[in-house]
Structure formats: C-alpha cells, structure tokens
Structure 1
Amino acid sequence: MSTLYLLRHGQASFGEADYDQLSWLGELQAAEAGRFLAARVGAFDRIVAGPSRRHAQTARGALAAFEAAPKLEIEPALDEFAHGHTLLDAAHARCLSGGLHWPQTSAAQMRLYGAEIRRWALEGEALPGVPTLDEFSCRAVVWFAQLAAQSPRGQRVLAVTSAGVIAVLMCAALRLPAGRMIDFVESIGNASVTSLAFSGTRRGLVSFNVATASDTAWSSRI
C-alpha cells in the first residue's frame, strides 16, 4: 500500500485585503508541520501543492525541516472550491439583501462564512465562479485516481491543500456521499494531517485531522 498525506495549509489571512497568504501564525504552523512530518514520516517520494499562494507557502515552510526533498509540484485539482473573499462577499451580500448589519467581530463573520459553505454543499446554492459540489468532488477524486494509477507500491506522497479537498477525499475513501464533506470540513485544523492508504482502486482512512503542533495555542481553523 502507498500513503497519501494530506496537509491542510497554515492559517490564512482571514479578514485582510489579501486572504490568500499565511498569517504569522500560519507560517509558524507550516514550520511545525514540517518538523512533525520529518519525525513521523521521514521522507516523501512526491510532494504536491494546490495552486493557491497559501498552499505553496505552507509547503515551502514545511519542507525547510527536510534535509532533502523532491521538487515541489503544483496541482490545480488541489485548490479549494472557493477562496475566503468569495464566501465573505456572498455572506456580506446576503446580510445587506436581508436588511441586516454586517457583524464586526471575526467570530460572527466566521459563522456567516460557514453558513455559506453549508448552503453550497447541502442546498446546491450557486456562488459566482465556484464549481458545484459534484464538480469539485469529481476533480479531486479523479486526481487521486490518477495518482494511484501512476504510483509504484509503497509510495509516500505529501499533498498540501485545503479543507474542502481533504473532506471530499475522505468521503470518497469512506464511500460516503459527497455532501457529507460538510461534517468534516469545519473541524479540519490548519496544518493538520489526514492520511489515506491506497493501492489501485482501494482506499482506506489511516488518520484524520492529526494536530502537528504540540502547543494548542497554535491551533486555528481558517
């Protein structure tokens, strides 16, 4: 069997003008994740990251812990279904159309952010420029199938991506409907590791949402 290690990106810059970059905490999380993986896994045969800046930043921050590593590959299929500003803009527009005031606290904004994800996943609500859940899920699952077909036995592959990709690949491995991804996506921590065993068409969940930082003060979910 081979193993796919799915590393969620470090904390992004939620609420800032440019969401798609690591915060100072995200940079610390990426470095800590690298040390965790170097100690637990040792080495990888392939390292792949989604196309967003926060994915590449996390990958490079983690790779600093390795003496040698394969060249980082960028894979579009590992991108999130929507970026933070898209979901926040949709939530903001919903507030305005309903005659409500936009909350000023990050916690309240996060609740509205999460509600947009649930509408997209469970109710099929369209978001501008965002694929449907079926399209998004298919993209990630097809990528994993291609990876499995191309990988020799015993490969260790690191993929740096986002919570949505991790959640839909978990659903596929557990033979759950794609809509169940919402049960997992909000609990996946930044810089956490989920691992899936694979061989041919066989898939199995090895671990889920393993924290890579020993200090719980470093935990976050955005």
Structure 2
Amino acid sequence: MGAIYLIRHGQAAYGEADYDRLSGVGLEQGAVVGAELLRRQVRFTEGRTGSLTRQRRTAETVLDRIGSSTTAKEDPRWNEYDHVDIVSHHGDGISQSDVDSRGYQGVLDGALAEWIGAGEDSPCAESWPAFLARVRGALDDLVAVLGKGENAVVFTSGGVIGALAGVLLGDPVMGLLKMNRVAVNCGITKLVSGRSGVTLLSFNEHSHFDGRAAQLLTYR
C-alpha cells in the first residue's frame, strides 16, 4: 500500500507586498518537517509542488534536508485558491494591510462561504467547482503513477489539503471551511492508496512542533 504525504507550505509573509514567499519562520518550519520525514525514513518515488513561491521554496528546503534524489515536479493544480480574488468579489475587497491576521481570517472565512455558495456563478476567475475539480484531478493523476508500495510527497496549501481531506470524508465543503481553518504551516497529512481507493489516514500532524520547536507552530 502506497502513501501520499501532503505538506502544507511554511509560513508566508503576511501583510507584506510580496505575500508569496516564506518568512524566516517559514524556512525554519521547512527544516523541521524535513527532519521529521528523515526520522520516519520515508522514501519517495514521486514529488509534486504547486507553482507558488512559498510552495516551491518549502519543497526545496524539505527535500534538501532529507537528502532525497526525488525532485518535486511543478504542477499548478496544487496551487491554493486565489484568496485576493475571492475576497475582492465576496469580501468587500478588504486587503491584508487593512486588518491584522485574525481580522483578515474572519473576512476570508465569510468570503469563502459566499464563494462556495455562488458555485459556477461566482465572478471570480476560478469558481469553487473548478477549484475542486482541479485539485481532485491532481490527486487522481498522482495516484495513477504510484506503483505498489511507493510513496509520494506533495508541497501544497491549506485549502487544497482541507478540500481533499473533505472529499475523502464525503464533505469537501466542510473540508475547505473547517479543516483548512486549523491547518498548521508544515503540517503533514497522510493518504494511503490501495485496492479500495484513497483513504485519509491522518490529518494535520504537527507533533514535530512540540517541545523546543513549539515557538515555530503557526496557522497563518
């Protein structure tokens, strides 16, 4: 039975002009989750990353830490939803510079709910059904290339992980709105693939941020 490890990217640069990059904490988080994968002695035959800078940089940091010869092939289907576009159309256009991270999260939560409710009628460049279809397609294609007992690692984002976890539990909306909400930076979600299909084995593992690494635990 093969496994797919979904790694959420490290902390991005909230409130800065270039949000799509890792903060100093984000880089440290990548090293910590890399050490955790090294401790587990997992061998990967396939690697994937979205095309966002924060995802690719996390992939580079982690794979370098574990000394893996596997490269993370870039596939934009693993990209996060466009939170700026969604908030622009469904959240009164409030930007990260207007409020603190807690306040912005409340705005984003409401905007995401409206985005989902609008379905194909959303004015956003990508609708909720389109987002869901692309991330499901990315997972299906990855599963298709894994051989028996082979493992893959994917560097992606909280919304993608939450939605896919929800799909596997039978409720993708709940996954995006609830599970995504508690995803930690550089948390590990593990899926297993076998004869009966893909199963969610664990979600948002983050014990590697216990103890001395506790100060590196972040959600945004």
Q: CA RMSD in A?
A: 2.3
Distance change in 2, residues 1:19/1:95 (3 Å): closer
Number of equivalent positions:
214
Conservation of the 8 A alpha-carbon contact between 1:43 and 1:69: no
Distance across 2 between alignment mates of 1:216 and 1:90: 37
Distance across 1 between alignment mates of 2:56 and 2:94: 33
Conservation of the 8 A alpha-carbon contact between 2:87 and 2:93: no
Conservation of the 8 A alpha-carbon contact between 1:148 and 1:199: no
| 1:190 to partner: Cα distance | 0.6
Distance change in 2, residues 1:109/1:144 (3 Å): closer
| 1:115 to partner: Cα distance | 2.1
What amino acid maps onto 1:76 in structure 2? P
What amino acid maps onto 2:42 in structure 1? G
What amino acid maps onto 2:189 in structure 1? T
Distance across 1 between alignment mates of 2:63 and 2:94: 41
What amino acid maps onto 2:13 in structure 1? S
Distance across 2 between alignment mates of 1:15 and 1:200: 45
Match in the other structure for 1:178: 172
| 1:128 to partner: Cα distance | 3.2
Q: Which stretches of structure 1, 4 residues or more, deviate above 4 A after TM superposition?
A: 87-92
Match in the other structure for 2:186: 191
Match in the other structure for 1:73: 73
The alignment's TM-score, normalised by the length of structure 1, stands at 0.86
Of 73-82 and 195-204, more deviation after overlay is shown by 195-204
Distance change in 2, residues 1:18/1:39 (3 Å): same
The unaligned stretches of length 5 or more in structure 2 are: none
| 1:86 to partner: Cα distance | 3.4
> Is 1:152 the equivalent of 2:147?
yes
The unaligned stretches of length 5 or more in structure 1 are: 97-101
After superposition, what is the alpha-carbon deviation per residue over 1:164-212, rounded to whole angstroms, capped at 9, x for unaligned?
11112112222x1322221211111110000000135611111110013
What amino acid maps onto 2:200 in structure 1? L
Distance across 1 between alignment mates of 2:214 and 2:189: 18
Conservation of the 8 A alpha-carbon contact between 1:5 and 1:193: yes
Match in the other structure for 1:86: 85
Distance change in 2, residues 1:106/1:152 (3 Å): closer
Distance change in 2, residues 1:201/1:127 (3 Å): farther
> Is 1:34 the equivalent of 2:34?
yes
Match in the other structure for 1:134: 129
